[in-house]
Structure 1
């Protein structure tokens, strides 16, 4: 396992949580909201417990794959929110690859 910068992860997560939900997501809003919630849940668990079990790692990988397919279709104003979410998830997975 690689050692990730937990402080940077935590700080970026705090920024993400303080941001307003983006407008103009169209038909993908429900899917994006679910991804935000699930990835956020994995991050919260990791920050509290300092590990993820195999099930959460697999869920996180699946969510990031799904998010990767949606982000290119977002406009610039909304993509920043989800690119940050991607960064958080990818950074977290570095600890388990």
Structure 2
């Protein structure tokens, strides 16, 4: 399991601060960021990778994020597109079920 693409994407994501924007979905976006970030940290710290429960949670988060990303202001959209890409990279490492 090659962790370097995820580690690189995680480093880039961490290097960017939380975007400044006004949205009624800001709380939900913050939660999605926190949960996906937690999955990344777990993955990078665990030799086994993501467990089935985290894979399910990650899929749900990415589905929610996809619906919210389109409604965002253009200035903050790259942050959440990168977050989504990070989640997609994680899912690509999961064993096929």
Conserved in 2, the CA contact under 8 Å of 1:42 and 1:52?
yes
Q: Residue 7 of structure 2 corresponds to which residue in structure 1?
A: 10
Higher relative contact order (CA 8 A, sep 6+): 1
Q: For structure 1, which runs of at least 5 residues remain unmatched after alignment?
A: none
The answer to which structure has the higher helix fraction is: 1
Deviating beyond 2 angstroms after TM superposition, the runs of 4 or more aligned structure 1 residues are none
Match of residue 83, structure 1, among 81, 84, 92: 81
- Asked if residue 95 in structure 1 is aligned to residue 93 in structure 2, the reply is yes
In 1, Cα distance between equivalents of 2:52 and 2:82? 23
Aligned-residue offset at 1:25:
3.5
Match of residue 63, structure 1, among 61, 67, 70: 61
In 1, Cα distance between equivalents of 2:39 and 2:93? 13
Q: Residue 42 of structure 1 corresponds to which residue in structure 2?
A: 39
- Note the aligned Cα RMSD (angstroms): 1.1
In 2, Cα distance between equivalents of 1:40 and 1:67? 13
Conserved in 1, the CA contact under 8 Å of 2:23 and 2:72?
no
- Asked if residue 24 in structure 1 is aligned to residue 8 in structure 2, the reply is no
Conserved in 1, the CA contact under 8 Å of 2:13 and 2:82?
yes
Q: For structure 2, which runs of at least 5 residues remain unmatched after alignment?
A: none
Q: Residue 30 of structure 2 corresponds to which residue in structure 1?
A: 33
